[in-house]
Amino acid sequence: MNEKPLRIDLNKDGLSLDFSGELTLYNLTQAQNYLQVNKFLNTDKIIINLDHVEYLDTAFALFLTDLERKYNAKIECEKKNFLHTLELAREHKKRLNEKDSVHKKNIFEYFGKVFYGNYLSLVSFMEFIGKIFISFLLYFKSIKNIRIKEIIFEINESAVRALGIVALTSFLIGLVTAYQAAYQLRLYGGNIFIVDMMGISVFRELAPLITAIVIAGRSGSAYTAQIGAMKITQEIDAMRTMGFDPYIFLVLPRIIALIITLPILIFVSDIMAMLGGIIVADLSLDLTPSLFLDRLSEVVAIKHFYVGLVKGPFFAFLIASIGIYRGLMVKDDTQSIGFNTTKSVVESLFAVIVCDAIFSIAFTNLGI
């Protein structure tokens, strides 16, 4: 390109922008800066002259059509190939403007795409659940298929290592719940009823939910990150190439391990939450631990304890399956791991809460 690719002349016919040389993406910024310094907003008539231009690419053609539209300028050019390039740029701009106007005006299209995307995700997840059940049938068809070492390893990773955080969280929740209840009960002289409240609420609702939330945030997210990293590094593809079924070696051991261990963790959570209640009752309400335990065995039926344990395998299946499914949905970039890990935790917590609500309604109607 020449040293002066653009010359601006102001005469009686108006403002003339005379371009020359090669007009490409590489010297587009130079022309933009030159026009910015030499402002011509108050000019009524602007003519863009391309007679001395040797080469014109699409990037610069888009720039010229912007000038044409913005300042109502007229482009003068005798070269047909340049005119054809400018016409393509105008059509491209027109399509973009039509697309933008459609998206701005049609809000139903936006919500339709959102609902359709969620529908496809639900169908994909149900297909994944179907594959899990089929794999379960094949898995237990023969004892040789059961991966004992992998299951024990996942029990250690997802449950044994989570025992401390589950116990501490449950203890603190029990402590806080009992303390808040003790303040109200002391006002009305109903100190002894803290046992009834703690027993039913902890056994039926608090312990299962606390345990499920902790495991969803710890083990569920770990499943997503592990499977996602294996997918990015193409380890899952390598397993399929060598004839190994990823569902047998990666999916089922994790699900089985969590189904086995979550009821045990709920049992530990029950003990620790009640321990927190016993401490508060002793310090704030003058109820000795022996009196607390005697009252607990008298007024709280064993069915409440079993109700909490029954929820464990269902919560475990939801947490593990959602975590693994999100891991398999990871794409070939590290940002996708963080995105799917976040979605894994959120969706697991939502599924657990919905499942708990269904159990509560069902058990209440059944009189359990």
| pLDDT, tens digit (0-9, with 9 covering 90-100), for 246-281 | 888 888 889 999 999 999 999 999 999 999 999 988
Residue type, 348: S
Answer yes or no: do 134 and 215 share one domain. Answer: no
Q: Is residue 42 part of a domain?
A: yes
Residue given tokens 């990293």 in the structure block: 229
For residues 210 and 89, state if they share a domain: no
State residue 105's pLDDT score. 54
Tell me: do 121 and 82 sit in the same domain.
no
What pLDDT shows up at residue 57? 83
Q: Across the beta sheet with 46-56, what order do the strands follow?
A: 6-11, 14-23, 46-56, 74-76
Q: What is the pTM of this model?
A: 0.68
Residues 228 and 300 in one domain: yes
Q: Which H or E element spans position 192? A: none
Same domain, yes or no: 101 and 115: no
HSE-up (13 A, CA, CB side) for residue 348: 34
Give the CATH number, domain containing residue 98: 3.30.750.24
Q: Is 285 a member of any domain?
A: yes
Residues 230 and 332 occupy one common structural domain: yes
Where among 52, 74, 105 does a domain terminate?
Answer: 105
Of 105, 127, 160, which marks where a domain is finished? 105
- Residue 358 falls inside a structural domain: yes
Tell me, yes or no, whether 25 and 72 share the same domain: yes
Q: What is the CA radius of gyration of the chain?
A: 34
Tell me which of 146, 177, 209 is where a domain ends.
146
Indicate if 19 and 116 belong to the same structural domain: no
Whether residues 34 and 164 share a domain: the answer is no
Splitting the chain (368 residues) into consecutive groups of 10 residues, what average pLDDT does each group show? 59 72 80 70 70 82 81 78 82 71 64 85 88 83 78 88 92 90 81 86 91 91 90 86 83 90 93 91 85 88 90 93 90 82 91 92 86
Residue 241 lies in a domain: yes
Structural domain including 229 reads: 147-366
Q: What does the pLDDT read at residue 285? A: 82
Q: Are residues 159 and 122 in the same domain?
A: no
Check whether residue 19 and residue 38 sit in a common domain: yes
Query: Total domain count for the chain?
Result: 3
Indicate whether 1 belongs to any domain: no
| Structural domain includes residue 253 | yes
Q: State the pLDDT at residue 3.
A: 52
State whether residue 35 is helix, strand or coil: helix
pLDDT in tens, 195-248: 888 888 899 889 999 999 999 998 889 999 989 888 888 888 888 888 888 888
Looking at the fold, whether 76 and 86 belong to one and the same domain comes out as yes
Report whether 39 contacts 8 (CB < 8 A). no
For residue 127, tell me if it sits in a domain: yes
